[in-house]
A and B are shown apart, each in its own frame.
Chain A
Amino acid sequence: MSFRIASSPHGHNQRSTSEMMRWVCYALVPGVLLHSYFFGSGIWFQILLAVVTAIAAEMACTVARERPAFSALRDNTAIVTAVLLAISIPSLAPWWIIVIGTLFAIVVVKHVYGGMGQNLFNPAMAGYVLLLVSFPVQMTNWLPVSAISEHSLNLWQTLHTILFEYTPAGYSVEQLRSGIDGVTMATPLDSIKTGLTQGYTLTEIYQRPEFSYFAGAGWQWINLGFFVGGLLLIQQRIISWHIPLGFLGGLCIPAFIAHIFAPDLMPGPIVHALSGATMLGAFFIATDPVSAATSNRGRVIFGLLIGFIIFVIRSWGGYPDAVAFAVLLANMCVPLIDRYTRPVVYGHGD
């Protein structure tokens, strides 16, 4: 008999990359459920479309790059990218939006850069930014939360809208967004941005129907849902706490200081933390290990940088939310951060 030759260590702890990615998907569930509760079932179709596109694109790319087609799928990373992008876009966006975004994320941002582990930018966010700058209308057509919208679409109506851009009854998404009084309803962050430029104070803006309790109606619960999922990931040691902490610190601390000085012009930290894609970004997007910093110190800096950029863009920039831009900008700084946060090797101290 011949004995098997192997290299040490023999044995391995049982957590694999694909399992980690599966856990990321599980942790998204509370947020996605809340999302579909407030914004309707569109998100499920978007996720389905994105995942199918991602798998097809991943397989095509690996075949084109002469690598085994199924082994690339096994790590589940393409699926995570697809789901994150699907969650980020308006749930009634037309089908080609998510298809284009996913294709761009997988083919250009991931595989053109060398495939799994080699991409400089977060694929989902790069895809999102491409869509946002190319199709601004479709990408900002957020339906008001269903509780305050009189059009509650069923499954068929939703699918019809995604596929043909009109409800079976012939309404466009633009029309759906209008309230009874014909005023277009915006997302909470949009309202703050436009309200402030029109000279309203925050107190007045918060009286509008898109706000309730702590922040934007619906949005605050979705953010809390992602927050809970994120805590699960930290508890399962899928992600380390450094990036989310840095992220939220970088966003909330400046927001808190600004809010003290100008309470009527600057939203407080809670509004920031529970609006837009904050929690999704802090726990699921910025923590993508491939495009994040690697050392713990580096991760805190990376998180702080993203949080601070979001605060700056939300406060003074042209976009109401800025998670995608902030993540991409911070991605660019990663080589620099890694270089200067490299831990001191044993025996090389002082």
Chain B
Amino acid sequence: MSDVQANKHNFSAKVIGHFPGGVHPPERKQPASSQPIRKLKLPQELILPVRQHIGPSGKVLVKVGERVDKGQRLTEAGLSQGLPLHAPTSGTIAAIEERPTAHASGLPEQAIVIHPDGEDRWGNKHALPDYHDVEISRLLELIQEAGIAGLGGAGFPTAQKLAQQKPLKHLIINGVECEPYIAADDRLMQEHADDIIAGIRILQYITRCDSVLLAIEDNKPEAIKAMAEAIDDNPQIQLKVVPTKYPSGGEKQLIELLTGHQVPSGKLPMDIGLLMQNVGTAYAVKRAIIHGEPLLERVVTLTGESLKQRGNVWALLGTPIQHLLDESGFTPEKKQRIIMGGPMMGFTLPITEVPVIKTTNCVLAPTEKELPSPGPELACIRCGACADACPATLQPQQLQWLAKAKDYESLEKHNLFDCIECGACAYVCPSEIPLVHYYRKAKAEVRNIAREKAKAEQARKRFEARQERLEREKEERLERHRKAAEERKKMQQEMQQEAQQKNSDEPGSKAEEGTEKPAGKSAAVAAAIARAKAKKAAQAAKESPEESNSAKGNES
């Protein structure tokens, strides 16, 4: 307790700033926030989508049937934004195939499936307990190789975020966790405060930043206490307690809350001298550098009243959600919803055979009573409640009309793309209009139109280039013909003048040679054509009896 008092000077409990809008949904962090993080038994299989993060997928390095060690690299991050993937435990590669991913669409993506052997046997680890004499570029490489992505939100590769070469005013560490239900960061701070601080110091060393703002929402007194103790009297790290309001943990909102500045639209926090990392990311960085362990697991909150055993678990990446549910006494009700993420921004999973990915912070299985589904959508009455709740000070009701009218040009003018999809507008809408859904669809459509347009543009260029080429070739051919004709004329003239027998032999023999050479191949071609014809005939034959059958059926 005396420790806490000793570092009171860097403990600012005062409300620092303000951001517009926001809502106060019921927090429901209990009981998850008071349950220690559990270790789970190994699942039967781990599903690792090759592309877990923003950016293209890497090259697969392993083959089906291969035995892999824990931490062994499975993919090579080839291109700029890629991240490598590692085996979360030792086992055998069972398959490399398309599996449904943790995405609202339920669409499949290439995934590596591992059957754990239960030994949990580590491969080589390159621990680096003292990093102070290591070059920064090497540390960034290590973080990249450890496959660390932002564990808070979009999953942007951490090393690339850190590599931006601009002087920093503050390094902001986000432990706000404003979304209801979720207590993963809360528990991590309570249990691993020292590790997080160690991670923060590595981040500080990399960014050469001597002012760290660690933000925690005031509904996490235990985490605040633990972090205050871990900070001790370090003058470079300031603990900032922010008032509970959703979405104060959003990157842009937290920046406005802490610094009073807004990130200009289309720019990055980096451009105003700020960098934000999640507490989970700081923890992962510490594991990667000090212990040489790549990112293999993360804390996931399992909550909702359809689960008997609510709390937090260390889940290996790739763990099927079904396994997590099985381990927490899942008793589904009729038409159960399974939400990955929190109630405000999470998406429903159509099936539970999807894996935990790097950004999976919560699996929520609520009952209908707990989180009622929306009623029928009524007409907008322009009450403005959504505008009052919007943290980006957009005009949600206006956007909604434009989205319904599919007026994509005006949508962009009304800054649709500044919407962070936090869901505050839809949460307060008295007419229960699924506003965010409209915006998401509109955004997808705008992107689609842009893609189509780019593609059409490309096609036009290629078409024009081809036309030009054909034109050129035609001209060249004509030119050649003309020249050949001239040549022939000349030759003829010469012929007439000179001896007449030479020229009749040569071209004839050449032509004969030409036809003979590919004889073997042309036979193959003929065979292929014959095959195709036979197939067509067979198909036609197959179709016609069906037709006659159905005709008969109709008659009878």
Contact = CB atoms under 8 A, between A and B. Distances in A.
Nearest to A295: B387
Contacts of A17: 378, 381, 383, 430-431
B311 to A, nearest CB: 20
B172 interface: no
Nearest to A292: B382
13 contacts: A3-B337, A6-B373, A7-B436, A10-B337, A13-B25, A13-B428, A15-B430, A16-B432, A18-B378, A75-B379, A290-B382, A345-B394, A346-B265
A214 B20 CA distance: 41
A145 to B, nearest CB: 35
A10 B371 contact: yes
B316 interface: no
Given A13-B428, A294-B382, A345 B393 contact: yes
A75 B339 CA distance: 30
A233 to B, nearest CB: 12
Interface in B311-359: 332, 335-339, 341, 343-352
B153 interface: no
Given A11-B343, A16-B432, A295-B384, A117 B423 contact: no
Contact of B427 (A11, A20, A240, A295): A11
A74 B436 contact: no
B264 interface: yes
B143 to A, nearest CB: 28
B383 to A, nearest CB: 4
Interface residues of A, number: 43
A9 B343 contact: yes
A344 to B, nearest CB: 6
B349 A8 contact: no
B351 A8 contact: no
A116 interface: yes
Contact of B393 (A74, A118, A289, A344): A344
B507 interface: no
A286 to B, nearest CB: 14
B397 interface: yes
A116 B381 contact: yes
A4 B348 contact: yes
A349 B264 CA distance: 8
Contact of A13 (B338, B366, B427): B427
Interface string B26-39: 00000000000000
B95 interface: no
Given A117-B381, A299-B384, A345-B394, 18 more contacts: A1-B336, A3-B349, A3-B350, A4-B337, A5-B104, A6-B348, A6-B373, A9-B344, A10-B344, A10-B366, A11-B343, A16-B378, A17-B383, A71-B376, A117-B382, A344-B393, A346-B392, A348-B264
A9 B178 CA distance: 14
Contacts of B267: 347
Contacts of A295: 384, 387, 395
Nearest to B335: A4
A289 to B, nearest CB: 4
Given A17-B430, A347-B264, A347-B265, A6 B337 contact: yes
A338 to B, nearest CB: 8
A346 B391 contact: yes
Contacts of B266: 347
Contacts of A11: 25, 343, 366, 370-372, 427
A16 B431 contact: yes
Interface residues of B, number: 70
Which applies to chain A's interface (DSSP): helix, strand, loop or mixed? loop
B510 to A, nearest CB: 70
Interface string B1-35: 00000000000000000001001010000000000
Interface in A280-334: 289-290, 292, 294-296, 299
Interface in B391-421: 391-395, 397-398, 415, 418, 421
Contacts of A345: 265, 392-394, 415, 418
Q: Max chain A CB contacts within 10 Å: which of B264, B384, B428, B437?
A: B384
Q: Max chain B CB contacts within 10 Å: which of A240, A294, A342?
A: A294
Q: Max chain A CB contacts within 10 Å: which of B252, B344, B345, B383?
A: B383
Contacts of B374: 6, 12
A8 B336 contact: no
B344 A8 contact: yes
A221 to B, nearest CB: 30
Nearest to B265: A347
B345 A8 contact: yes
A168 interface: no
Contacts of B384: 240, 289, 294-296, 299
Contacts of A74: 378
Nearest to B437: A7
Contacts of B364: 10
B350 A9 contact: no
B282 interface: no
Contacts of A19: 430
A11 B343 CA distance: 7
A343 interface: yes
Contacts of B256: 346
Contact of B432 (A12, A117, A346, A349): A12
Contacts of A9: 343-345, 423-424, 426-427, 436
Contacts of B382: 117, 289-290, 292, 294
B217 to A, nearest CB: 18
B262 interface: yes
B263 interface: yes
A88 B375 CA distance: 34
Contacts of B429: 12
Contact of B346 (A10, A13, A342): A10
B418 A347 contact: yes
Contacts of B392: 345-347
Contacts of B339: 8, 10
B353 to A, nearest CB: 11
Contacts of B370: 11
Nearest to B345: A8
A16 to B, nearest CB: 5
A10 B340 CA distance: 11
A346 B395 contact: no
Contacts of B56: none
Interface in A210-249: 240
B380 interface: yes
Given A12-B372, A75-B379, A348 B265 contact: yes
A346 B418 contact: yes
Q: Max chain B CB contacts within 10 Å: which of A6, A15, A71, A296?
A: A6
Q: Max chain A CB contacts within 10 Å: which of B263, B384, B397, B430?
A: B430
Contacts of A344: 393
Contacts of B418: 345-348
Contacts of B373: 4, 6, 10
B379 A116 contact: yes
A30 interface: no
Q: Max chain A CB contacts within 10 Å: which of B382, B423, B431?
A: B382
B434 interface: yes
A254 interface: no
Interface string A1-45: 111111111111101111110000000000000000000000000
B413 to A, nearest CB: 11
